[in-house]
Structure 1
């Protein structure tokens, strides 16, 4: 039986419609929530700056006058609260749970905001982790959100599948690094997005280069970038090639990412903003 089948498809083989098209499991958010656009931020591997990209895009959209939010779906490796300097716990009442608002007004929900101690490990199995993400969508009251960025764990496992099936994702941004492995990363993300009928907005390459503080020369620490050729192969736009920036790392560690100024993600923010103008 296929993972998505509702019947015994052993007799109808690989052409069974339920094997070809995933069922639509999209579920509504909390009845008091209002969320206009949902953007998934994904990667095929960890350590490429996916959470940083999610946080910075939320900050940029907030600066443009929109109300943005981050749903931290990386349950076992949550880092969004740290980036925003949030250490308080989320509160709940008889109506539901509420995200924690950052200094500049970005709403954040993460498992770290539910733990007694934010350094406690989350040792849960896949179905429980996926269930927590659904709760963040269905039981948290997201008020008047223009753009919700969903920071997903790397890979194509339970959580990305749950997000794509449960949330009405308007598009995804694929985050990569310069190594040749980027081709495999993008290909996996593209194929999963196509399977789930989710549009890909483009690619953000992090750690593209470092700038020498003495002469200003670009140093390609991880080798020459392959993102342009990979993007052309899959007919995707490159939304940003972000450098290694010690100041960004410093402000992220201090939890004041909202004070960091950059124009490297402006094109990505333009593409996200355009979603609101689509009919």
Structure 2
């Protein structure tokens, strides 16, 4: 009997046009983008994250605060660098402002809404924001993680054959990811499955990738971290990943970016990062303070630049 082919994810370079990258993600449910960050950018991110990982305790199974997905949801012997935007603002900003990250998030998460306001047709195209920014340091002996769908955090039920998703995952490799050190397992095509279908481990592909590569996947795609079976001290025995996930701009973020990022840090962030972090209103108006952008209420210096951009955009529409 001929064995079925081993499931695999497609890998394309970061120079690939966004429409081609998105087409593959829509077809397979996930994709690896090589050369997303340069070696120098990866080295800088690893150096900046090291002090935080050094003082972070590894996760222990059945001893977790986040239990909505079950007490065994997080893999053991894994350090989580939560609130990463506030701790590594420069490096998270590089990811958030990356044209590939923004392009993929926008094309998959955008929604065009048309509705009359009186007799005038209002057309709105929603955008995306950061849902979660977290680092992972996976050590030898880490168990595998259960296969799951991320969009359950938004209480979104998958529909068979549907390309709708509330969020998109992104993991940037800080070290080489191999099957042996626990490369994320992804089930190709599972974003199109009925919610009644149970994922099987043998259907999953190991998302092996080099440092600096990034994996993107639908929130409806089944996936989960693999087991790290390395021996302590061997080459590539630890797997470091930087996760910057996106969701639709009218949904609640998985991690509250405004609270995990100190105000003194937020005041230094580029305007684009503040927009993606939820410090401005969504395209449809969600998230206001006194009907205005939060950065106005907080007196952020970026408010003036944001106001000027909105004025220019309004003028362009009228023209």
Q: Give the TM-score of the pair, scaled to structure 1.
A: 0.28
Higher-Rg structure is 2
Q: Give the TM-score of the pair, scaled to structure 2.
A: 0.25
